[in-house]
Amino acid sequence: MIQKVRAIAATGNLSTGFREETLVGAVKDGAHFVGCDAGTTDSGPFYLGSGQARGPREGVKRNLRLILREALSAGIPVIVGTAGHAGGRPHLEWTLEIVRELATENSWHFKLAAIDSEIEKDVLAEALRKGEISPLSPAPRLEREDILRAERFVAMMGIEPIQRALSAGAQVVIAGRCSDVAIYAALPVLRGIPREVAFHAGKILECGAASAAQRLYPDCMAAELDQGGFTVEPPNPALRCTPQSVAAHTLYESGDPHHLVESGGMLDTSHAKFEAASDRAVRVTGSRFVPSATYTVRIEGAALVGYRSIVIAGIRDPLVLRQLEPFLSTVRSVVERKVEDSLKLRSDQYSVRFRVYGRNGSLGEAEPVTEQEGHEVGLVIDVVASSQRLAADIIPIVSHTGLHNPIPEHQGLISNFAYPFSPGGIDAGPVYQFCANHVWRLEDPCEPFKMSVESL
């Protein structure tokens, strides 16, 4: 049993980068592995649904080159999770292509493991039939029809598939959709670090330097794990961790401030202690890991719902702003009649949304501040239809109607909108929505995740 494991998080997301000198110094000071998260659902369902990776490709290649160079030179593994931003099969292949390019260009030789987390629809439909799929609140029950019409599903792997790859001798592990925590907990648990220590350290490391008191820029973070806890310290001397900053990151993106659910169990941080180990380092102890009665992995899916066109406009007429809600309601009514007359479309065959920035553009109906301040607002007109052509046909109808729609105070033709762009309409392409936020009960944590190993 290894008494200590030193983990390096290259950055919070593989596409955001880090300082080369920070990574070089961190590995030189001693490390057992370098990890990096490469994705998130924060960007919405587009990347999962479309299969497109979020680059920039050259930036990702630069970051992978530095990570691989330093880790291979030091003889330590590299673990990348949620490849290509969404972790589906196209995203995994995109990342693997870059890794293979780098190996060829630099004459690097290593064992590469790829872990595929995309789930075939027939496999998921069979799991649903067996009663193995359950919704996470407030998601509705998943139906077979939902599965069949979706574009893509992924399962979020825990630590076990990564451990299987490491045990097979992989020096570089590129994983599909993966728990952020699992990237950093897999190897420490494999080497005998208690799960409560490994999982809490993984939670702190997942976003790189984000657990520093002030993250001046994306960069690396380091943690030393032992049998009783872990000590986190930024390898960049310009950054520092404080008990508050590390405790705050424990709460980051967590629905419950003290209970973090992962595949295989729950991390209970309600009795965790965060103590300054120096003016830059923090010692964390006291967490507990509670194993779950059944092993589950989260399922994510994305489905195509249409195609989008938008118009951006400004409104600063005080008369219009005083009655903006009824004004937009009237515009909608007129638009519905015009679209039905000219395009033979009912209002339930497309959608029109008005996003008003300066009033409630961010929170929408959940905005608690009801009083509008300021002399102008920004308006985004968002049209979604069954084809790009239809969306592009509807958007000028909405835009032109709103441009000249009268209010009681107006006499004659008045223009209400100021357009920053010409043409006003912008085709934004396919629109996806998440169609699964469920868990899948598994007998074998590695069963859905296909692994391949190759020697480069």
Q: What are 156's two structure tokens?
A: 């979020």
| Close Cβ partners of 182 (under 8 Å, ≥ 6 residues apart) | 81, 157, 158, 159, 162, 202, 262, 263
Interaxial angle between packed helices 57-74 and 89-106, expressed in degrees from 0 to 180 and rounded to the nearest 10: 60
Say if residue 404 is in the same domain as residue 331. Answer: yes
User: Given this model, what pLDDT does residue 2 score?
Assistant: 66
Please provide residue 248's backbone torsions phi and psi, each rounded to the nearest 5 degrees: -60, -35
CB-based contact 429:388 (threshold 8 Å): yes
Say if residue 76 is in the same domain as residue 202. Answer: yes
Say if residue 84 is in the same domain as residue 157. Answer: yes
Higher pLDDT, 367 or 95: 95
Say if residue 111 is in the same domain as residue 173. Answer: yes
pLDDT at 379 over 80: yes
CB-based contact 398:311 (threshold 8 Å): yes
Say if residue 322 is in the same domain as residue 283. Answer: no
1 pLDDT tier (thresholds 50, 70, 90): low
Mean pLDDT of the chain: 95
Say if residue 365 is in the same domain as residue 284. Answer: no
User: Given this model, what pLDDT does residue 362 score?
Assistant: 81
pLDDT digits (tens, 9 = 90+) for 164-218: 999 999 999 999 999 999 999 999 999 999 999 999 999 999 999 999 999 989 9
pLDDT at 43 over 70: yes
Establish if 306 belongs to a structural domain: no
* Lowest mean pLDDT segment, chosen from 96-110, 267-281, 341-355, 412-426: 412-426
Establish if 431 belongs to a structural domain: no
Mean pLDDT of 124-136: 96
Question: Structural domain of residue 100, as residue ranges?
Answer: 5-119+153-290+442-455
Say if residue 279 is in the same domain as residue 339. Answer: no
Mean pLDDT of 364-383: 85
Say if residue 268 is in the same domain as residue 362. Answer: no
Say if residue 216 is in the same domain as residue 329. Answer: no
Q: Give the three-state DSSP class for 214.
A: coil
Say if residue 285 is in the same domain as residue 332. Answer: no
Q: Among residues of the chain, what percentage have pLDDT more than 70?
A: 99
CB-based contact 377:315 (threshold 8 Å): yes
What is this structure's pTM?
A: 0.93
Establish if 218 belongs to a structural domain: yes
Number of domains the chain contains: 2
Establish if 190 belongs to a structural domain: yes
